[in-house]
Amino acid sequence: MTRQLRGGSSRNGLILANGGVLSYQHSICLSSLPQRNESPYPNGNGLEQAEPDSIAPVNFEVKGPATIEAPRIPRFLPLKVSRVPRGIRSRSLHARATEFLQSQDPDLSESQRTVREAISKICSDFPDSYWAQIDESHQFPTELYEALARRGWLGICLPQRYGGSELGISEAAVMMQTIAESGAGMTGASMEPRSRKIAGSLPLIAGRQRACFGVTEPNTGLDTLQLQATARRSRDGYVLSGQKVWISTAQRADKILILVRTTPRDRVKKPSQGLSLFYTDLQVPEVQITEIPKMGRAAVDTNSLFFDNWHVSMEDRVGEENEGFRMILHGMNAERILIGAEALGLGFAALRRAALYSNNRHVFGRPIGQNQGIQHPLADSWMKLEAARMMIYQAARLYDQGYTGGEYANAGKYLAAEAAFEGCERAILTHGGMGYAKEYHVERYLREVFIPRIAPVSREMILNYIGERVLGLPRSY
């Protein structure tokens, strides 16, 4: 059965319904797209120049009945009174990060709290030692992925009729924060993207098929609209040629969602025009995939792709020809919110380990945490992480209400990544020499926390965005 879906302005309409959908960082199917509200700032979505107006209908295949039971959690339940946090003093030095997951944040809605508790429970089977071991052995975290898939969490934002839970980005952010905070970091939060095209493809929701996302190119970097990979029409489809870089999970992905140019740059009015999106088989001889050795998140492969004369069928094109960029544009705010939430998770995990260690480690006859030089930076980090958390969840709430402005999503991602980075660095210093030892895990957190500072958009580009779009300053690039 083929259905028509409209992206952009309808609640469930966009094929790539949000950044997570298109994201190379997320393991979950995110596709509900709420009604849009206007931003007070001009051109207010993402960093690019394209305007987020209406998108052409998209065809996609619905591939059969659900085989997994998606969690049914009603949204917008009344707020419960906060629970008393469990003190960390009583914890042992090597306690799992998952033991400290709390759901007492007074501002969580009942549905967010339910997600937090359910995900914490799943994550409690995956201690820090698991994450350290797969990082060491470069093994993909299949076990967590399957555990989430089995319980239907990969479809958290999908409409129920496609096997999803139909929750919002507010709940998805809680899910991603909780996974990262369990000690899983960016490794646990990074699996595969989901698109609306695959929203109806239950093998993906059930975790039986894998997909990756290809936008970044070696020669153009953050200047996405200048990307050079092309698709030219052939008799029965397209022929793709070009390169991509930093493509996460391409070693194991069955499919790729890829953005390429279908109309040369000099034949379109705006650079955002002339780009098209394809969702197609990846493991073909025409695509050469080479893993990039990297600093952290070793369990999740990241790759360069070189492809030439790669035949792709007409049905593999997603949406209208030349409209690809507009389709991904709508997902960008959600992507930033979710990555920001993951950064928060890492930051809180590091902070808890630091607080725990500084209570237990005695030097000069007292716990090191009794020294203000240790205590104050940690207190400062908690406040910064909490401030960022409020910004992230504010952005998520606005997104779920249909707000299209990018200032809160971008600022939230920026603040969360910076606060988390500082928190991870302080956690290492709090541990002294042991901070440098793998045994205490904080060095792994620090290696991973660079990712949300760099991707999917860098700190500098967010500052450019706020300077230009919010403050009305001249464009600097």
Which helix (H) or strand (E) segment is 338 a member of? helix 332-360
Q: How far is the CB of 476 from ligand FAD (least distance, A)?
A: 6
Omega cis (within 30) before 456: yes
Q: How far is the CB of 347 from ligand FAD (least distance, A)?
A: 18
Which one, 12 or 302, has the nearer CB to ligand FAD? 302
Which one, 297 or 431, has the nearer CB to ligand FAD? 297
Q: How far is the CB of 351 from ligand FAD (least distance, A)?
A: 23
Alpha carbon 385 to its chain centroid, in Å, reads 18
Alpha carbon 123 to its chain centroid, in Å, reads 18
Which burial class, exposed, middle or buried, applies to 474 when counting CB atoms under 10 A from its CB (0-12, 13-18, 19+)?
A: exposed
Which one, 50 or 374, has the nearer CB to ligand FAD? 50
Q: How far is the CB of 450 from ligand FAD (least distance, A)?
A: 8
User: Residue 382 and residue 88: Cα distance in Å, rounded?
Assistant: 14
Tokens of 267: 């034949």
Which one, 302 or 358, has the nearer CB to ligand FAD? 302
Which one, 27 or 430, has the nearer CB to ligand FAD? 27
Write b or e for each residue in 167-193: b if 16 or more Cβ atoms lie within 10 A of its Cβ, otherwise e: bbbbbbbbbbbbbbbbbbbbbbbbbbb
Q: Which residues bind ligand FAD (CB under 6 A)?
A: 24, 212-216, 221-222, 246-248, 297, 302, 451, 454-458, 460-461, 464, 477
Q: How far is the CB of 222 from ligand FAD (least distance, A)?
A: 4
Which one, 435 or 456, has the nearer CB to ligand FAD? 456
Q: How far is the CB of 389 from ligand FAD (least distance, A)?
A: 23
| 304 three-state secondary structure | strand
State the first-to-last Cα distance of the chain, in angstroms, to the nearest integer: 46
Alpha carbon 198 to its chain centroid, in Å, reads 17
Which one, 249 or 359, has the nearer CB to ligand FAD? 249
- How far, in Å, are 94, 270, 431, 446 from residue 374 at the CA level? 19, 53, 10, 18
Q: How far is the CB of 407 from ligand FAD (least distance, A)?
A: 18
User: Residue 318 and residue 277: Cα distance in Å, rounded?
Assistant: 5
CB-side neighbour CA atoms (13 Å) of 464: 13
Which one, 214 or 377, has the nearer CB to ligand FAD? 214
Q: How far is the CB of 408 from ligand FAD (least distance, A)?
A: 20
Which burial class, exposed, middle or buried, applies to 107 when counting CB atoms under 10 A from its CB (0-12, 13-18, 19+)?
A: exposed
